[in-house]
């Protein structure tokens, strides 16, 4: 079969080149069609009678008369190989067919019936599955006798167990669905429910399981024939041909090649086709549709327009200073979109800066940019991130590893998933102390207990031995905080650290942050979408919208008089007490996705005060810490409802 592959190659085409997966799928289908063709028309296309012996011409190498040579009895290998196709198709059809016919109805029945039937059959299936498959087949063959059809009955019985389990699983899942229950309520018979309502759901996984089984049957048939329990000599099957070849490996190793390649190519084609089917079923539809990328023009970044925001005046005790940071992420297709543009901010020692905005405005990515953890899909294109004066964007991977933990640490939103489920919480803190501080095991553990005690967890010594899933969210977040502070970082980035927690716990965690800041003196970048939380914990707030800062102010100033319409909108959307009867106002629309930002003021399409002027780029302007990115900031008197 494979010996006939054509040698000329198509010229490389420049246009409309089919994708690799299309080529593979096409090749797999071609192989299987060729296999079926040879199986059906074997009698007409073989050059010789596959059983005719010619002892004078035994073990001949490939030649013009015998393309694949001859075997030990002088039989033509190519002819035997082609007849082997018929056996392979027959074997796959028989065994798979029997497995489906036996397994699916039985699985449907026991799944639907449940109770004792189900229990007994499933224990039986478990017993079969706990014996190596080939041994099950061997035992069944011992009862039935050897031979192709009997061996295929054995394989059919063996593989019916996987169809049984599949059908049963689908029934168990569907049985309690509303439409099945309602069919039962209106009095549909059990048989009708099984056939009309449940059976259609089996089709997709069934097709996948069939392709898997066909591949397995082909290999098993070859194996059984190889050990002499399947197809019996002199009939030709790929397995028996290999059995012959095994005796002559020292004289003529080539005998093993044609049947081996035939098995591999066939099984490979079946498996690859199965993968394609599985993938297309998994996607729901087989047609590939590329997500349409919005054609909206990217907003020009400040650098491109030459209009940079005014730089923030450097302060003497700044721990962190970010100047003109721009971050881009690559989209599918390779193009890059900016997600943070021209972002500048500074945080002093012992200060807490809130970074506030709706989700999707670039807050989290800013936090990750500081730690150098944006990930493979994104990169910093412009700007500097200075920690105590040293630019982190200029550091290599190794140096960043030493900065993280020692100088900057992070606390994340979901405390449970941020801790490794496989290790105890104490172990995870001690590990950091050992790896970063070089402490001994014993010292690290002692310090761990101190830290756990310090973050307000009672009985720290025993809690250190708990696994993350054994702790409440609040406890786990305290552990995460203890770990983040274990190396005394200068800057703590807290990314929505209270969002996943109960309201009562939130307050405790915020208090803990304040306490620890007094003790450790670190600066905190507090990322949150919740203005009430920010008001509670922060000294200053920077409001972010669509990848840029739109307003910064001290908490008091911001709450007393917001100057950007977006800030005002956020403040109005924050619930504060129950004495207000009107429904909570919302900001209409949502944050535009990166790549779809308006060219001028990015808030323009959601702003009720929009004017002609807003359609061109707006700089961040103001004095000291009071900056705003709005051309109408001075003339607007924004209502906050407070």
Residues at the interface with other proteins (CB under 8 A):
123-124, 126-128, 130-135, 138-139, 141-143, 145-146, 215, 219, 222-223, 226-229, 242, 245-246, 249-250, 253, 256, 259-260, 263-264, 267-268, 271-272, 371, 373, 401-406, 409-410, 412, 414, 417-423, 431-432, 435-436, 467, 469, 480, 483-484, 487
Smallest distance from other proteins to CB 504, Å: 24
**276/269 Cα distance (integer angstroms):** 11
Instruction: Assign 543 to helix, strand or coil.
Output: strand
Smallest distance from other proteins to CB 369, Å: 12
Q: CA angle at residue 496 from 493 to 501, to 5 degrees?
A: 130
Nearer to other proteins, 371 or 596 (CB): 371
Residue 60: both structure tokens together: 């001949």
Beta bridge partners of 493: 410, 525
Smallest distance from other proteins to CB 63, Å: 21
**142/145 Cα distance (integer angstroms):** 5
Smallest distance from other proteins to CB 609, Å: 40
β-pairing, 548-554 vs 621-623, is: unpaired
Residue 539: both structure tokens together: 């000294």
Nearer to other proteins, 139 or 584 (CB): 139
Query: Measured between alpha carbons, how far is residue 340 from residues 365, 374, 503, 534, 548 in Å?
Result: 8, 12, 31, 21, 6
Smallest distance from other proteins to CB 411, Å: 9
Smallest distance from other proteins to CB 623, Å: 35
Nearer to other proteins, 340 or 433 (CB): 433
Smallest distance from other proteins to CB 237, Å: 13
Which residue shows structure tokens 């007393």? 560
Smallest distance from other proteins to CB 397, Å: 8
Nearer to other proteins, 179 or 423 (CB): 423
CB neighbour class for 225 (10 Å; exposed up to 12, middle 13-18, buried from 19): buried
Smallest distance from other proteins to CB 142, Å: 5
Smallest distance from other proteins to CB 127, Å: 4
Residue 322: both structure tokens together: 């970010």
Query: Measured between alpha carbons, how far is residue 349 from residues 111, 370, 477, 555 in Å?
Result: 65, 16, 23, 17
Write the Ramachandran bin of 623: left for phi over 0, alpha for psi from -120 to 50, otherwise beta.
Answer: beta
Phi, psi of 353 (to 5 degrees): -105, 130
Nearer to other proteins, 184 or 379 (CB): 379
Smallest distance from other proteins to CB 354, Å: 20
Q: What is the CA radius of gyration of the chain?
A: 35
CB neighbour class for 187 (10 Å; exposed up to 12, middle 13-18, buried from 19): exposed
CA 73 to mean position of chain CA atoms: 56
Nearer to other proteins, 328 or 429 (CB): 429
Nearer to other proteins, 127 or 461 (CB): 127
Whether 159 contacts 216, CB under 8 Å: yes
Whether 569 contacts 557, CB under 8 Å: no
Nearer to other proteins, 413 or 567 (CB): 413
Nearer to other proteins, 401 or 557 (CB): 401
Smallest distance from other proteins to CB 221, Å: 10
Q: CA angle at residue 258 from 255 to 259, to 5 degrees?
A: 90
Nearer to other proteins, 320 or 541 (CB): 320
Nearer to other proteins, 208 or 558 (CB): 208
**235: closest CA among 94, 75, 92, 96?**
75
Residue 168: both structure tokens together: 């049963």
Smallest distance from other proteins to CB 419, Å: 6
**160/102 Cα distance (integer angstroms):** 6
Which helix (H) or strand (E) segment holds residue 322: the answer is: strand 318-330
Residue 207: both structure tokens together: 């097709």
**366/527 Cα distance (integer angstroms):** 9
Smallest distance from other proteins to CB 398, Å: 9
Smallest distance from other proteins to CB 444, Å: 14
**CA dihedral angle for residue 471, residue 476, residue 482, residue 486, rounded to 10 degrees:** 90
Whether 532 contacts 538, CB under 8 Å: no
Query: Measured between alpha carbons, how far is residue 357 from residues 172, 348, 527, 546 in Å?
Result: 45, 21, 9, 9
Write the Ramachandran bin of 319: left for phi over 0, alpha for psi from -120 to 50, otherwise beta.
Answer: alpha
DSSP code for 70: B
Residue 339: both structure tokens together: 């997600």
**341/300 Cα distance (integer angstroms):** 10
Smallest distance from other proteins to CB 401, Å: 5
β-pairing, 318-330 vs 378-387, is: antiparallel
Nearer to other proteins, 495 or 548 (CB): 495
Instruction: Assign 257 to helix, strand or coil.
Output: helix
Phi, psi of 615 (to 5 degrees): -85, -10
């Amino acid at each position: 079969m494979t010996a006939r592959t054509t040698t000329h190659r198509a010229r490389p085409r420049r246009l409309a080149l089919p994708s690799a997966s299309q080529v593979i799928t096409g090749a797999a289908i071609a192989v299987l069609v060729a296999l079926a063709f040879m199986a059906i028309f074997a009698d007409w296309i073989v050059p010789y009678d596959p059983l005719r012996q010619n002892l004078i011409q035994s073990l001949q190498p490939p030649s013009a008369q015998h393309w694949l040579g001859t075997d030990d009895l002088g039989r033509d290998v190519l002819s035997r190989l082609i007849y082997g196709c018929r056996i392979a198709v027959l074997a796959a059809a028989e065994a798979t067919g029997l497995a489906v016919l036996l397994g699916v109805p039985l699985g449907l029945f026991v799944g639907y019936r449940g109770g004792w039937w189900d229990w007994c059959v499933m224990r039986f299936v478990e017993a079969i599955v706990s014996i190596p498959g080939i041994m099950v087949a061997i035992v069944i063959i011992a009862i039935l006798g050897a031979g192709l059809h009997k061996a295929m009955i054995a394989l059919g019985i063996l593989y019916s167990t996987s169809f049984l389990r599949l059908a049963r699983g689908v029934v168990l899942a569907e049985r309690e669905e509303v439409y099945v229950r309602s069919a039962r309520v209106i009095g549909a018979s059990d048989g009708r429910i099984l056939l009309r309502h449940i059976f259609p759901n089996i089709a997709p996984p069934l097709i996948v399981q069939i392709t898997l089984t066909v591949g397995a049957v082909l290999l098993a048939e070859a194996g059984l024939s190889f050990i002499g329990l399947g197809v019996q000599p002199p009939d030709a099957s790929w397995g028996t041909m290999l059995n012959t070849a095994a005796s002559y490996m020292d004289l003529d190793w080539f005998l093993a090649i044609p049947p081996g390649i035939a098995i591999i190519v066939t099984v490979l084609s079946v498996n690859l086709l199965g993968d394609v089917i599985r993938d297309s079923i998994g996607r729901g539809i087989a047609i590939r549709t590329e997500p349409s990328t919005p054609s909206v023009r990217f907003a020009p970044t400040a650098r491109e327009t030459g209009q940079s925001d005014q730089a923030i005046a450097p302060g003497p005790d700044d721990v962190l200073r970010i100047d003109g940071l721009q971050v881009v992420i690559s989209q599918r297709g390779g193009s890059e979109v900016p997600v943070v543009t021209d972002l500048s901010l500074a945080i002093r020692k012992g200060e807490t800066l809130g970074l506030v905005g709706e989700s999707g405005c670039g807050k989290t990515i800013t936090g990750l940019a500081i730690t150098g953890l944006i990930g493979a899909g994104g990169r910093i294109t412009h700007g500097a991130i200075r920690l105590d004066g040293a630019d982190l964007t200029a550091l290599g991977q190794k140096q960043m590893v030493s900065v993280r933990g020692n100088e900057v640490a992070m606390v994340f939103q979901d405390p449970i998933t941020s801790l490794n489920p496989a290790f105890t919480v104490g172990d995870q803190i001690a590990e950091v102390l050992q790896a970063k501080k070089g402490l001994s095991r014993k010292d690290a553990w002692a310090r761990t207990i101190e830290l756990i005690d310090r973050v307000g967890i009672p009985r720290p010594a025993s809690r250190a031995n708990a696994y993350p899933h054994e702790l409440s969210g609040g406890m786990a977040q305290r552990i995460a905080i203890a770990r983040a502070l274990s190396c005394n970082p200068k800057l703590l980035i807290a990314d929505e650290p209270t969002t996943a927690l109960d309201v009562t716990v939130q307050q405790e965690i915020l208090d803990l942050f304040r306490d620890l800041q007094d003790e450790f003196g670190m600066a905190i970048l507090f990322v949150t979408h919740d203005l009430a939380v920010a008001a509670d914990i922060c000294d200053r707030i920077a409001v972010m919208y669509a990848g840029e800062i739109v307003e910064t102010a001290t908490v008091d100033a911001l709450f007393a008089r917001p100057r950007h319409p977006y800030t005002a909108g956020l403040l109005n959307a924050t619930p504060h007490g129950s004495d207000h009867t009107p429904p909570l106002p919302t900001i209409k629309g949502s944050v535009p996705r990166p790549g779809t930002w308006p060219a001028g003021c990015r808030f323009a399409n959601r702003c009720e005060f929009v004017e002609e002027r807003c359609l061109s780029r707006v700089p961040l302007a103001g004095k000291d810490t009071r900056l705003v990115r709005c051309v109408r900031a001075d003339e607007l008197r924004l209502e906050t409802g407070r």
